[in-house]
Structure 1
């Protein structure tokens, strides 16, 4: 086995998806704890500067207690290298989450045991389904009053149309939550059994559910219920089938309590055994296999000002093939230029170190001075166009202007950078002075205003517009596009790539334009590749 084959097989690159408040950030922290990446559990509960998991580093996240950016954390566990991408749970930032899901090979879906499937969970699940992505389910907060596990399984099967197989089974819930029975390894794991550092002890091996040990270690009613429920679950649910899991048609389900670090080890052990190593990356000409020896990678996220002391811009890059080494020269497909990559970074949330090497599945950060954009490919020479990395037409549009009119140019530069980062759509109307900013959710306007103030030292005003929606426009020929643009300048602008955008005042205005110009495409999405549009 070559070293590359071995390194690819060791990688597990996954994201955590959930509705806000399902406990995703707490689970992220506990996964890092098991990976030895952080030393102290309970930072979420701690005060002051510690009052957040290590993945929520942006100022606005700390103030609001939500994750609005996707952080990357790399750690080792049980002989595997995990690349964990923490995604925004808040629906107003779903576009960032969508792009992050293009860079992972599997996902962990976190569900609140009391609430079951919620709207944002459903949306993110559908994104995973579009990519046939394997999903592992973690039902959290079992230490609180929760719904019946059969009810949760039934809801997942009915609402998400996916088979469910229990990997562990809860014993009680809320104040009577005693632990879980590990159905894969036949062992009893009790909640109150923890070591001195607060980590749960290994489970007690059992010889199946009839083992008398269970009668000794659990109250009589709990044992009777456990045996009945597991027998019923095994009768109703299909056994674990790794092929079905890898195809995205079956999800193993674990029960636990992230805040109590309970059930997390079993989840991680499950990912070690079942989660896929790096998969081929979709590209225009052919899928790019991780075993290919030449380096190829794509940018799925740009993050500005991670380090407030240095106005940095980091391009987050997913390595798809080859063996990256520090100092390598890589071709930037969009510009055709060669980049000397000396200072690529590996991440543990806020902490970072220079990447001496990286393998397919790894996420590296490349300090970026404006030349890298979302969707860009980096290769050892081949022109590869990776596909499926989208921008969505904004659902909410507002104008933005600086409070100090003399700083209009300064604002333009800030908006350009935020648009390249994928934080918002930015359109400069062909007629009129004000910039138009489009977002998916209203909270993004507040976050943008706060970031422009803190990162660019610029006070701005966002004001409502009479605009209904925006669409990227395209035509079969340059002449047809020019004719449309010349006739509709009052309703058009350009985005940060210089691509034309139609700004509709209402649904009738958009429908009329589509009727009057049947040869023109009005697209809701735009792929981040060479400025190309998709519909």
Structure 2
């Protein structure tokens, strides 16, 4: 238990949501509370426009969306919070899925007007796979939205998780008056256009007191008393053990843009959220309090700073102590590496650190040694499991518009696909480069970044494929025969693994039936064992 004090004071979590639910706004409010930024929209591109502190890529600023996971650290009430802000857009879901492997809990933002949306469902499925503890923040209560009881019922039914309200709203939309804190038994009053201050918190010895009627009116006070009696009768006190097991999600109501209801949630998060947890490896479970260092790469980002052609690998520390200039073992490459300038992050700002502990996310300057899922250890050989690449859904051939920039294009494609924004396939026995993505927007981002960061101009040509499946077989002869016979549909991923590109579900099912000796995999994780 050498580093127990450091482990106990860390909370590492991600904020997830459907696009436009207010996730990046909520991130900024957290940073304001932590004193990490002084004003909302602290990153400015010019004197007029203000942008979210966590959106640092030029294309994110232009489109107003987050397309890469940002990492931010700040202190709040003596706790070191590592916050990972994820892309909301479904086209970048894979980056979010991988980020969820690097956190210990999540805050899920739900828009009170739109309720549960498609992306929210998909993200919750990933959380449920890992029993990740979830806190729900129902945002935009100052807009006319769904009835509060209907909304809770919808979230429970759609996301298949039991909810436990921690605050309760008084009306919504233009009639929104604030929230009653069910845990602290106080009233927090809302005034449109202002952020909640200490004087807006009304201490109540009992919800039946006349002070409540004076503050919000008899009608609303009467309704609130009924609601609270009902909610308390159904839910009672929060069982923190059930929350930590991913069975129950505490719920808070508020308005992130008005900084309302955020502090109550942050205070509860600090109190109940899990400290860094044990993680499964190929050999055994590794726990944070072990003396020897271990960690894994869950994200790679090229050109974080456009002025310097840098490439940063994001490392989640899982056990022991990470130290600057100390040699650690790179399991896949079977070599020892050290880092003279490891970073922690506040959005675009980087600070060199001397040491990091379990739960921390460290940025490592990378010259091309890292791939997503790589493991660093202080000696033993194992790798952390559960960080797969998924089968893409859209495939396009890369067409080089400037043959003089072929080298730059090759470098750009390798670096961008190493980041995990897309997957690169090379047609078997040829040079045709095919990019596979989850959504159309990723192609825009790749095209833009290839031109801006590498000077390579490309266009994309749609390919008639439905799915990419990694293929393996214990019978090498059968695998050779299959790849020769189906050479037009066979490609290699950038690690040299064979992939079958199926034109349709029917073709895929036919090949699986006709080739029982060949296994078709929908994620690339099967290859980690042989890496």
225, 234, 237: which is aligned to 1:236? 234
- Give 1:172's aligned residue: 171
Counterpart pick for 2:366 among 365, 368, 373: 368
Q: Is the 8 A contact 1:389 1:528 kept in 2?
A: no
Alignment counterpart, residue 211 of structure 1, candidates 209, 212, 216:
209
Aligned pairs (5 A) from 1:27-38: 27-38=26-37
1:169/1:45 CA distance change after superposition, 3 Å: farther
Paired residues for 1:415-434 under 5 Å: 415-434=413-432
CA contact (8 A) 2:3 2:320 kept: yes
Aligned to 1:380: 378
- Tell me the distance in 2 between the aligned counterparts of 1:199 and 1:238: 27
What secondary structure sits across from 1:84 in the alignment? strand
Distance in structure 1 (CA, Å) of the matches to 2:477 and 2:338: 39
Please state how far the C-alpha of 1:41 moved relative to its aligned partner: 2.8
Name 1:145's counterpart in structure 2.
144
Query: What's 1:511 paired with?
Result: 509
| Cα RMSD for the two superposed structures | 2.0
CA contact (8 A) 1:319 1:359 kept: yes
Change (3 A) 1:432 1:406: farther
CA distance in 2 between partners of 1:293 and 1:349 (Å):
30
Supply the distance in 1 between the matched residues of 2:409 and 2:40 (Cα, whole angstroms).
41
Aligned match of 2:14: 15
SS in 1 for 2:278: coil
Kindly indicate whether the alpha-carbon contact (under 8 Å) linking 1:330 and 1:341 is maintained by their aligned counterparts in 2. no
Conserved in 2, the CA contact under 8 Å of 1:140 and 1:258?
Answer: yes
> What is the DSSP-based 3-state SS (H/G/I as helix, E as strand, rest coil) of the residue aligned with 1:88?
coil
What is the CA–CA distance in structure 1 between the aligned matches of 2:429 and 2:324, rounded to whole Å? 47
Alpha-carbon contact 2:192-2:258 (below 8 Å) kept: no
Matches of 1:280 and 1:486 in 2, distance apart? 44
Which residue is equivalent to 2:96? 97
Residues 199/209 of structure 1: CA separation in 2 closer, same or farther (3 Å cut): closer
- Please give the secondary structure, in 2, of the residue aligned with 1:306: coil
SS in 2 for 1:297: strand
Q: Contact 2:10–2:80 (CA<8 Å) still a contact in 1?
A: yes
Pick which of 107-116 and 470-479 moved more.
470-479
Residue 270 to residue 162, structure 1, CA distance change in 2 (3 Å)? same
What is the aligned length?
A: 530
Closer/same/farther in 2, CA of residues 45 and 486 from structure 1, 3 Å limit = closer
Q: Shift in Å at residue 175 of structure 1? A: 1.5
Shift of 1:225: 1.3
C-alpha displacement of 1:222: 1.6
1:298 to 279, 296, 299: 296
Q: CA deviation at 1:194?
A: 9.9
Q: Of residues 175, 196, 200 in structure 1, which corresponds to 2:197?
A: 200
> Residues 285-332 of structure 1: CA distance to partner in whole angstroms, max 9, x if unpaired?
111100001100000000111111111110001000001121111100
CA distance in 2, matches of 1:48, 1:65: 17
Q: Is contact 2:471–2:519 with CA below 8 Å preserved after alignment?
A: yes
CA contact (8 A) 2:112 2:145 kept: yes
- String of CA shifts for 1:12-62, please: whole Å, max 9, x gaps: 100011000000010000000001000013559997575211001111110
Query: In the alignment, what sits opposite 2:490?
Result: 492
CA distance in 1, matches of 2:159, 2:100: 18
Distance 1:264 1:45 in 2: 24
- What SS does the corresponding residue of 1:68 show, helix, strand or coil? coil
Asked whether the 8 Å contact 2:163–2:248 carries over to 1, the reply is yes
Unaligned runs of 5+ in 1: none
Q: Where do residues 216-295 of structure 1 align in structure 2 (5 Å cutoff)?
A: 216-237=214-235, 239-295=237-293
Question: Partner residue of 1:63?
Answer: 62
Shift of 1:388: 0.2
Secondary structure of 1:527 counterpart: helix
**SS of 1:293 mapped into structure 2:** coil
Paired position in structure 1 for 2:183: 184
What displacement does 1:485 show?
2.6
Q: 1:252 to 1:31 in 2, by over 3 A?
A: same
TM-score, structure 2 as length reference = 0.96
- Matched with 1:342 is 340
Q: Which residue of 1 aligns with 2:75?
A: 76
1:395-437 residue CA offsets vs partner (Å, 9 max, x unmatched): 0001011101343343222211112111111001024432100
CA displacement at 1:508 relative to structure 2: 3.3
State the SS of the aligned residue for 1:170. strand
CA drift at 1:219: 1.6
Distance 1:271 1:327 in 2: 34
Change (3 A) 1:384 1:492: same
Question: Partners in 2 of 1:529 and 1:378 — Cα distance?
Answer: 18
Task: Give distance in 2, aligned partners of 1:49 and 1:476.
Answer: 62
Q: Partners of 2:526 and 2:61 in 1: how far apart? A: 30
CA contact (8 A) 1:194 1:200 kept: no
1:407 maps to what in 2? 405
How big is each residue's C-alpha offset from its partner over 1:470-513, in whole Å with a ceiling of 9 and x where there is no partner?
11111124444334333332321111111111122333332332
- The offset of 1:524, in angstroms, is 0.8
Partner of 2:110: 111
Distance 1:127 1:188 in 2: 35
CA distance in 2, matches of 1:480, 1:382: 36
CA contact (8 A) 1:36 1:75 kept: yes
